[in-house]
Structure 1
């Protein structure tokens, strides 16, 4: 399946899938439980398709959410690396026996986390196969929990890369291997693995299933962990739960996870990198903002976002880029189209590789270009970046 080349974005894929099935708009709208008017606006690019509505439409089509959103294409030169990466993943329990320099391994892991933070998807893709092979070899040689934690960390990066592109077969394989490594490691690595596993449910549109994974992991962390690591684990899980509940528009569950995340963030203090993932007060704010937009509390979300940016931030591009996308969502919902263009342009400036493949970025670009009927240099520049033909 592919979107219309002139207007890439998840909403365009809805029309493609509908026409493939020979359905009229009112037939699809009836199956999805939405108005024909709403569906028409989504297809024409007059209203963005959010992932909550996307999950409903995906169910009506009999596909998963990631299939509806559409996979990002493999960039030139990345295909061979991804083939190599899959080969290394298949050989999880078959070490090469080659010696590994532990000091170099530590530097390579730190560089991977930096590139992930910078949302440098291409560089992460190119480094993953060799690094994954080395960390697996080293963990088999030592069989130490700390070295298996490193394996789990690299698989978390594989999941992150695959999820950003909606390569869900790769993402789901990654979280299986991540859990296998985490089980030989420590409870915090297991909590991160559960968070990523719940992410595959999020990407697939099974929000209730993802919440069940989170709730199970929260119970395990509360029962088996102590000290700061307990709060780090719970905080990361609550952030994922918050997002999943927001997509379901389950306000009660959202507030429960917000409360839990805030409590853990207050104890951990400033944001830190946990197994390649950030947690702390700032990242909690970015998740609250996104969830408020999902719940259509756009004015509140915008106030939270503008205050956060005004007060200064320390989070990396991989978090600040999506933050600007969600601010753009809130502005567009409040009919501030020019402001939405400015915020989306910020997301492109901060994390261009992520903006190029992120479904929210693509959908906002499609809608903003469609709605701006008059000539606008900023919209023209945005269209060029997003690959939209004017």
Structure 2
């Protein structure tokens, strides 16, 4: 992805934060002499979770270097499953930030560190979620088949080691990643078969929840499953099916954070463009921008859809001009 779309540069005042984060990732087994308390890590992780949900990328990048060093020191000192799980969660957010910017070297390293952290103490749920992020690294690298293999292995492990809602959550999160990978397969017939398998499994897992769970910075339940089904139908070349899944989109998105709202409206805009509805596409791109401007500004699909919409308009459009100025995408 980085080769095709290019990496996203950080703002000048964030360069030091990025350098500090890279240094902290390198020092994964060097905890240093710092005293850190469990409550301190938990409180900061809660803040990080809110920032991630709200796609506050700049603030996350500012917080992550210190949090990663603190979580590393605490995990080595406490050596409990909870402490290592907290460190794994931090690496998950490092991966998330890196993947958004298409810093693929850091993304790959983060999922490796995440897996290392969660394996220090037995933690089946944490292992499933780490596998989900590792499969995401395969997705970003374009190796969709290997990513699907990773997902299937992790689902089998979760089904044998977990029970109840924790098992449903782990399996469901992995299914969401699986359907995304399946939708990107070059062989669309095979992609449809794989996608439908994961969609069915996700629907079964979602029956355990009356509302979506947000655990370890990941979301699963009936609503987030619906947003992934929409995206997968689109990736399989079925824009009408994708929009059909979005008929009651306001209800679907109710209660979900901006990190899910914005991508869903981006996908709706892509589907509308495929069907020639440029005005509807512009409206959804605007909604996506308003929901999560820091995501839209760096999201390759938002930027590409905006370029297509702007090229189709034959006359000046105030909303196009406004979004162009905000995003930096020239008309």
Q: TM-score normalised to the size of structure 1? A: 0.81
> Is residue 270 of structure 1 aligned with residue 206 of structure 2?
no
Residue of structure 2 equivalent to 1:166: 102
Contact residue 66 and residue 205 of structure 1 kept, 8 A? no
Which residue, 10, 21, 28 being the options, matches 1:85? 21
Residue of structure 1 equivalent to 2:128: 191
SS at match of 2:248: helix
Residue of structure 2 equivalent to 1:128: 64
**Greater CA radius of gyration, 1 or 2?**
1
1:137-174 C-alpha deviation (Å, 9 max, x unpaired): 11111100011000000000000000001000000000
User: Shift of the alpha carbon at 1:312?
Assistant: 5.6
SS at match of 2:33: coil
Residue of structure 2 equivalent to 1:255: 196
Aligned partners of 1:205 and 1:90: how far apart in 2? 25
Residue of structure 2 equivalent to 1:321: 262
- Structure 1 pair 310/188, CA: closer, same or farther in 2 (3 Å)? closer
1:285-334 C-alpha deviation (Å, 9 max, x unpaired): 11001011112221221132231314661110011010110011111111
Residue of structure 2 equivalent to 1:236: 173
1:167-197 C-alpha deviation (Å, 9 max, x unpaired): 0000000000000011124111111111111
Residue of structure 2 equivalent to 1:358: 299
User: Shift of the alpha carbon at 1:389?
Assistant: 2.8
Residue of structure 2 equivalent to 1:386: 327
Aligned residues: 326
Equivalent positions of 1:15-164 (< 5 A) are: 65-164=1-100
SS at match of 2:263: helix
Aligned CA-pair RMSD: 1.3
> Is residue 291 of structure 1 aligned with residue 232 of structure 2?
yes
For structure 1, list consecutive stretches of 5 or more residues without a partner in the other structure: 1-64
> Is residue 301 of structure 1 aligned with residue 301 of structure 2?
no
Moved more, 231-240 or 212-221: 212-221
Which residue, 368, 372, 387 being the options, matches 2:313? 372
- Structure 1 pair 289/311, CA: closer, same or farther in 2 (3 Å)? closer
User: Shift of the alpha carbon at 1:268?
Assistant: 3.1
> Is residue 225 of structure 1 aligned with residue 162 of structure 2?
yes
1:78-124 C-alpha deviation (Å, 9 max, x unpaired): 11111111111111111112111322221111000000000000011
Contact residue 266 and residue 288 of structure 2 kept, 8 A? yes
Aligned partners of 1:83 and 1:173: how far apart in 2? 15
The structure, 1 or 2, with the larger RCO (C-alpha pairs under 8 Å, 6+ apart) is: 1
Aligned partners of 1:125 and 1:376: how far apart in 2? 35
Contact residue 369 and residue 383 of structure 1 kept, 8 A? no
SS at match of 1:171: helix
For structure 2, list consecutive stretches of 5 or more residues without a partner in the other structure: none
Moved more, 266-275 or 231-240: 266-275
> Is residue 346 of structure 1 aligned with residue 296 of structure 2?
no
SS at match of 1:278: strand
Q: TM-score normalised to the size of structure 2? A: 0.95
SS at match of 1:291: helix
Contact residue 214 and residue 237 of structure 1 kept, 8 A? yes
Residue of structure 2 equivalent to 1:201: 138
Aligned partners of 1:279 and 1:239: how far apart in 2? 8
Aligned partners of 2:11 and 2:143: how far apart in 1? 28
